[in-house]
Amino acid sequence: DAEITQSPRHKITETGRQVTLACHQTWNHNNMFWYRQDLGHGLRLIHYSYGVQDTNKGEVSDGYSVSRSNTEDLPLTLESAASSQTSVYFCASSEYLAGEQFFGPGTRLTVL
């Protein structure tokens, strides 16, 4: 069955370190999204991509970057981790623009 996976599921890192969170989907969806979820803020969009070599900034993109070299993967990089980036990160994909989104299981990141 097609699916969307994220790794690692849990990560503890130190302030200032570079961290990369992986997202892999096997639906062959063109559209992929990264969100963070924090108490009191709900789900907020970090970056998104509409296809290979396309990336766009979302509502809370500062301190994060993404690259899209193939259809299946959209890794999220924290260039220099900060304590404010402690959060749960979700990756999602959709087949169509404005289409139904499917979410990965999430990655819980703690920055000490």
Partner 1 sequence: GIQVEQSPPDLILQEGANSTLRCNFSDSVNNLQWFHQNPWGQLINLFYIPSGTKQNGRLSATTVATERYSLLYISSSQTTDSGVYFCAVVASGGSYIPTFGRGTSLIVHP
Could you list the residues that contact partner 1 (CB under 8 A)? 31, 33, 42-45, 48, 58, 88, 90, 97-103, 105-106, 108
Q: Is 32 left (phi over 0), alpha (psi -120 to 50) or beta?
A: beta
Instruction: Please choose, from the candidates 14, 12, 39, the residue with its C-alpha nearest in 3D space to the C-alpha of residue 110.
Output: 12
Q: Between residues 22 and 45, which has the closer beta carbon with respect to partner 1?
A: 45
CA-to-CA distance for 2 and 104, rounded, in angstroms? 12
Q: Between residues 31 and 85, which has the closer beta carbon with respect to partner 1?
A: 31
Q: CB of residue 49 vs partner 1: minimum separation in angstroms?
A: 12
Two tokens at 5?
A: 């996976």
- Count, residues in the chain: 112
Q: CB of residue 62 vs partner 1: minimum separation in angstroms?
A: 17
Q: CB of residue 58 vs partner 1: minimum separation in angstroms?
A: 7
